Structure 1
Amino acid sequence: MIMSMDNASNNNTTATELARILPTFQGLLWRIRCILHILNLIAKAIFAHFTKVAKRTKTADSSNSHPDLDDIVEGDDLEDLELNNAAVADEEDEQSTVLTAQLIHNTGVVKSIRARAIAEMATRGVQITATTQKCAEGIIPKVSGLARRVHDSSSVLKPEFEHLVMSTPDINTNKTVLSRRVATRWNSEYGCLDDHITLRRPVEALTGQTKHKLGAYRLTEAQWSLSNELRNLLKIFLAATLAFSRKETPLVHELVELLEDIIRSLRLARDSISSPKGKPISPIIRIAAHSGILVAEKYFKLFGECEVYAIAIVMSPEKKLQWFGSRGWSQEEITQVTEHVLKRWSESYVHLPTAAQASSVFIALTPVNLDDPKEEDWSAFATTQHLNTHQATPLMPDEILAYLQAPIVSKEELDACGGVVKDWDSKKEIWPRLYRIASDFLSAPASSVDVEFHEAVSAIESAMRGEEDHLTKVDTIGIKVYKKIII
């Protein structure tokens, strides 16, 4: 059993304690860090340079406080008030939808990373002025704040904005509304920003109407320019997030390569003074890219605590140990990976039964006579593997060393089989032991529970708070343990 959890530190304790209860679970060695949470943290570290921390004074009864009634600590003009209120509303959304341990972890990571990135880039000669920082920090509050205001005003602002979009010529989109920010999904912030840029003309027309009092949400020319640069930076891992958010469960063998590619792309953005199109890259964008790198590298190093990532790559027939060399891993690091694989094989798989005929049967393609009238469906028949026992040829033994020494398989061959997991499924009867280790590690989920499950857990918690008297002690403990183990 391999488990994917978010990055809250208490999940280390969960994994350790669970190993004591379930002997087959290897504790931290089999605790995977959720890729969606990692991507979300990378994005939050970048966004931290383009938003402001909400500041409110504590009231006697905080439960009755409202952003519009709270005192603003810095600045008392209308724009500061409006943008602070937008930041407060975003924070409240996040607090209501993100689990407490995860929220504390995320906030702590992002805060420390932001300061570190600014300091480290300063030593590289990349610095920003206070004016630039204030300009950047206003972007997300303005963008998400306007989307919220329009959405909440269903009878005035929303139809007005839709009319402006429909009456604006040459807009290359079918959208007529601004996407809203969702606290648990960073790509919603990207969508919010992307809509704002795509619908710039109707956005400026709406914020320019004094009757609506939306001037505080109007981006300056410098902010529009930074918004475009930020959107381009975020595209680095937008596709990855969408891919790993799909309904089918993303698998762990896809994760390491993805994160390496993200780090490489962020480094290129950080270390370049101009974009691929020759446009200058703003210092704040380069600093933000460094923030993303610091988060990505942190979790990439933590992958070393878990053997699942490396073994999953090794058991990918198109990668094996050669993948690490092609990615610049040192010989010492590759040797360590090999030792991990051999150790896991000897401890968990070498004693499993193997196929009786594994060394006497050969799977080969049977030649097809396309002119033979008996071949009714030759196109399907020609791609089918047939058992040929007339020419018995020794097959690769069901041993890990034999597998490692065999040539890698091309990606095209795997794709023809339906992917790496299905390819191993077809080898189940031939190499049952190799199949077992491959299946265990390649099928490990790269992402933990989805949003719907978090909502279900929240519903359970609400039921527990409201009806705890109707639950037995065992029921209550069981729900808490279930949540702790799964999340």
Structure 2
Amino acid sequence: MSLKGSTQQFITRKIHVLSDADAWRYSDKEIIASARRNWPSNIYDHYIIFLIRYYTEGGEPNYMEFRFECKFACPLHEHQFRARKTKTRSGKLWTSARQCEERQQIKANPETTAQDRKDLAWICIQCSLLRTPPGSANMLLMIPGHVNSGPHDGSFLSSPITEGLKYIYSSLASVAFSHFQNVSGAFHLIVDGWTNITPTDSLVCVVVVWQQEGRVFRSVLDLAWVCDLRSEGFLSDFTSQCLERFGLLGKIKSVCISNAPHSEQLVQDLCVKHSNLRPDIRIMCYPHIVRLMAEAFISFLRPQPRVTLMKFINLPSEDESERTVEWGDRPLHHYLSEPDYNAEIVQWAVGKAHQRVRRLGLCVEDNVLQSAHGVLSKVKGLEQFIDETGFPELREIYWGCSEQGSDSEANIPTARPRAFGQWSTVWDSIDRCLRFQPTFHKLLDTNIPDLGGCFLEETQLKLLEDFHRCLQAFHKLGIILSRQEIPFLHEVVEELFTLRAHLEDICNDRLGTNLTSVARMAAAAALSAYELIGKGDMLPEVYSILMVMRPTHKLQWFEERGMNTQRISALVEAYFEENYPLIKRENDEEGLVDLVTAQTDNLKTYLSSSILSEKVIEERGGLLSYWNLERKTSPRVAQMALDHLTIPASSVDPTRTLSGGPVTTNGLEAQVDRDVFRAAMSIGSWFGTPVLKDIDAVANILEEHPCT
């Protein structure tokens, strides 16, 4: 090497140790060359390196920064930046380069690209359905055998899966937008998770429900974190953006949302933003209502709370019992968490029950109530004793005591073990305890230690038997609400009407079963909980439409319950004419076709016809299939029926219907970035719908992926 070449190389190396100010006089090429000679890693070969110079506002040199651009110009490989004088190593550059090289390997094998896309689509869907992070041990179990047996292991697919999830989700909105333009009928909006307002990591989940060809689908539009909902109106803006992206503006028929006070504001904000929405479109979350009714009922068997805060509502005194209850006007972040909120409502309902039984002339002594509050503690103590006993035969006897079976319609199917105290499991615990009593008394005679604390006095045993009998009134509603399919409002409204009537009979002692005064007061508390949460939740016409549009019910359902059918008929017919008008066809200049259609496709004709049996509806494929078939002869009436009979009764997903709690994520949000998390939580809910029918549909989306 010549002396000149050696000197130039020395100067180039020396530039790297200079400060930005001292190195400023050298060219970009010299500064980059100096840095490159001092970077030993070969990962830099993946990049084209540029130098960016920054100046102060006065035009003086400030600092320099390197920009690393992918040499393959892959649009998914974002540019990387690093300050010239930094101790940062090549970790981030290495990770992004490795991911890009994996993409290039997939792209470089055109003979297997189609199959690779299908495999990738399948794994992405599995990750979304099971909420499993890419690259995890569980993900390896999802990889098809022919992929896993190749020259690479499962980690090779971590990056393609991550980017595949993002790309599928980013494409979903446009795919759904195009599809929904050809879907007639209404859509129903759900805002899930919004009751969990205290934890900063709680989620808000915007969901849409719709029906096609007799099937109902529930899909996630997007998610947001509560900690991001700081600015006023953020949630309504966020929800509106979701509706706009998916082409659902002007198509929403109802909004199902939690029953917390702040939820009303969201509906009002949405109505202001969208003129087609009315305040009465809000549907309450009925699992929450039923759960609170049951909790209020059961609360008489539980220990009394030590502190009564009453932060949400003002409990009226006995003289003010008819005064309207008002919610607090505190800012959103000042409200309690959902468990505290529920406890406040239960306490209020118990207070109202005391007032109601006094008006009925029923006297409940304090010592009787005190004894009742210790019953469930003894039931729980017995279960703990059985679980901790060293005799397997005893456990088998106890846990085999319940007659609940998979074919039983009287009880809510519940897997054991489960947290004691959730209302859906209390009946099972009471049932086992009552059936175990003969064995329990034999054990007492043998003087087994620690068993005496579980002994139920005669009055307590009578209470337990009464509550066991009364709680069965909740079971049918529990079955409807806890099934895996979407519970519909028309089903819940009918059963809730029956439940309330039964509770009224219990409260007023019309059953002739000699129930204890505590059981009657508990029924009054359950009714009070409904009155607080459920009253005024929708206009009467919605309830009426739901029942009228069931061919097995029509007006006869109201007549059997002593209601004014003429008023209901007039109300529903007026709603039909206003919202489902007859539209004149372009090729029917004389109006003859419209005249014939109007004579058959109207609500009066439908209501005057005979009701159908459940068997006939089942033969047509079910209620929704029946109305889809009726579209051929009565399109307007059928559309009104489908729009209302598909209204959901729950704002939570089936896994949380009876237990409450936050949106289920399996901890995925802690293992992936937010974009991947949103994609994984959403994509699985679209799979199997007309928007994303099967794996081929997912693979077709990935075909447009720039690097697959």
Question: Fold-level match, TM-score > 0.5?
Answer: yes
Q: Distance in 1 between matches of 2:373 and 2:663?
A: 34
CA displacement at 1:204 relative to structure 2: 4.3
Q: Distance in 2 between matches of 1:412 and 1:471?
A: 49
Cα gap change, 1:203/1:395 in structure 2, threshold over 3 Å: closer, same or farther?
farther
C-alpha contact (below 8 Å) 1:345/1:437 kept by paired residues: no
CA displacement at 1:234 relative to structure 2: 0.9
How big is the alpha-carbon RMSD for the aligned residues of Structure 1 and Structure 2? Answer: 4.2
Q: Distance in 1 between matches of 2:665 and 2:285?
A: 22
Aligned 1:89-168 pairs, distance under 5 A: 101-148=337-384, 150-151=386-387, 153=388, 156=389, 159=392, 161-162=394-395, 165=398
Q: Equivalent of 1:457, from 663, 681, 685? A: 663
Superposed CA offset, 1:115-174 (max 9, x none): 2212221232211112211111111122134324544x3xx45736326659x9xx6859
CA displacement at 1:359 relative to structure 2: 8.3
Cα gap change, 1:325/1:45 in structure 2, threshold over 3 Å: closer, same or farther?
same
Correspondence for 2:502 = 265
Q: Distance in 1 between matches of 2:647 and 2:451?
A: 49
Superposed CA offset, 1:94-121 (max 9, x none): xxxxx96542442222111112212221
C-alpha contact (below 8 Å) 2:484/2:654 kept by paired residues: no
Correspondence for 2:298 = 47
Correspondence for 1:38 = 289
Question: Gaps spanning 5+ residues in structure 1: where?
Answer: 57-98, 362-392, 480-487
Aligned 1:209-224 pairs, distance under 5 A: 212-224=449-461
Q: Distance in 2 between matches of 1:115 and 1:403?
A: 46
Q: Equivalent of 1:230, from 454, 467, 470? A: 467
TM-score, with normalisation over the residues of structure 1? Answer: 0.67
SS of the aligned residue for 1:459 comes to: coil
C-alpha contact (below 8 Å) 1:7/1:33 kept by paired residues: yes
Cα gap change, 1:212/1:19 in structure 2, threshold over 3 Å: closer, same or farther?
farther
C-alpha contact (below 8 Å) 1:3/1:31 kept by paired residues: yes
Q: Distance in 1 between matches of 2:504 and 2:531?
A: 11
Q: Tell me which amino acid in the other structure corresponds to 2:488.
A: L
Q: Which moved more, 1:198-207 or 1:101-110?
A: 198-207
SS of the aligned residue for 1:426 comes to: helix
SS of the aligned residue for 1:302 comes to: coil
* 1:5 and 2:257 correspond: yes
Superposed CA offset, 1:174-209 (max 9, x none): 99x996664784121111111111222334455776
* 1:442 and 2:674 correspond: no
C-alpha contact (below 8 Å) 1:148/1:180 kept by paired residues: no
C-alpha contact (below 8 Å) 1:46/1:288 kept by paired residues: yes
C-alpha contact (below 8 Å) 1:164/1:205 kept by paired residues: no
Superposed CA offset, 1:393-435 (max 9, x none): 9894323344344444344433432433221111122222222
Correspondence for 1:288 = 522
Q: Distance in 2 between matches of 1:419 and 1:328?
A: 28
Correspondence for 1:414 = 617
Correspondence for 1:84 = none
CA displacement at 1:342 relative to structure 2: 2.3
SS of the aligned residue for 1:3 comes to: strand
Cα gap change, 1:447/1:359 in structure 2, threshold over 3 Å: closer, same or farther?
farther
Correspondence for 1:202 = 439
* 1:342 and 2:574 correspond: yes
Cα gap change, 1:11/1:144 in structure 2, threshold over 3 Å: closer, same or farther?
farther
Q: Tell me which amino acid in the other structure corresponds to 1:282.
A: T
Q: Equivalent of 1:320, from 554, 578, 594? A: 554
CA displacement at 1:302 relative to structure 2: 2.7
C-alpha contact (below 8 Å) 1:354/1:432 kept by paired residues: no
Q: Distance in 2 between matches of 1:344 and 1:288?
A: 41
Correspondence for 1:251 = 488
Q: Tell me which amino acid in the other structure corresponds to 2:553.
A: K
C-alpha contact (below 8 Å) 1:259/1:300 kept by paired residues: no
CA displacement at 1:255 relative to structure 2: 2.5
Correspondence for 2:629 = 426
Cα gap change, 1:471/1:299 in structure 2, threshold over 3 Å: closer, same or farther?
closer
Correspondence for 1:17 = 269
C-alpha contact (below 8 Å) 2:300/2:372 kept by paired residues: yes
Q: Distance in 2 between matches of 1:255 and 1:471?
A: 36
Q: Distance in 2 between matches of 1:233 and 1:416?
A: 35
Aligned 1:447-486 pairs, distance under 5 A: 447-450=650-653, 452=655, 457-459=663-665, 471=674
Superposed CA offset, 1:442-476 (max 9, x none): 1112233235366672538x666x589x558x979
Cα gap change, 1:40/1:128 in structure 2, threshold over 3 Å: closer, same or farther?
same
C-alpha contact (below 8 Å) 2:289/2:534 kept by paired residues: no
Higher helix share: 1
Q: Distance in 2 between matches of 1:19 and 1:216?
A: 57
CA displacement at 1:53 relative to structure 2: 2.6
Aligned 1:330-369 pairs, distance under 5 A: 330=564, 335=567, 338-339=570-571, 342-343=574-575, 345-347=577-579, 349-350=580-581
Correspondence for 1:385 = none
C-alpha contact (below 8 Å) 1:147/1:180 kept by paired residues: no
Cα gap change, 1:286/1:447 in structure 2, threshold over 3 Å: closer, same or farther?
same
Q: Distance in 2 between matches of 1:316 and 1:186?
A: 31
Cα gap change, 1:208/1:22 in structure 2, threshold over 3 Å: closer, same or farther?
farther
C-alpha contact (below 8 Å) 1:355/1:432 kept by paired residues: no
Q: Tell me which amino acid in the other structure corresponds to 1:7.
A: N
TM-score, with normalisation over the residues of structure 2? Answer: 0.48
Q: Distance in 1 between matches of 2:398 and 2:258?
A: 40
Q: Tell me which amino acid in the other structure corresponds to 2:638.
A: Y
CA displacement at 1:344 relative to structure 2: 5.6
Correspondence for 1:389 = none
SS of the aligned residue for 1:247 comes to: coil
Higher strand share: 2
Identity %: 22
Q: Distance in 2 between matches of 1:262 and 1:249?
A: 20
Q: Tell me which amino acid in the other structure corresponds to 1:114.
A: V
C-alpha contact (below 8 Å) 2:483/2:654 kept by paired residues: no
Q: Which moved more, 1:438-447 or 1:296-305?
A: 296-305
Cα gap change, 1:239/1:198 in structure 2, threshold over 3 Å: closer, same or farther?
farther
SS of the aligned residue for 1:199 comes to: helix
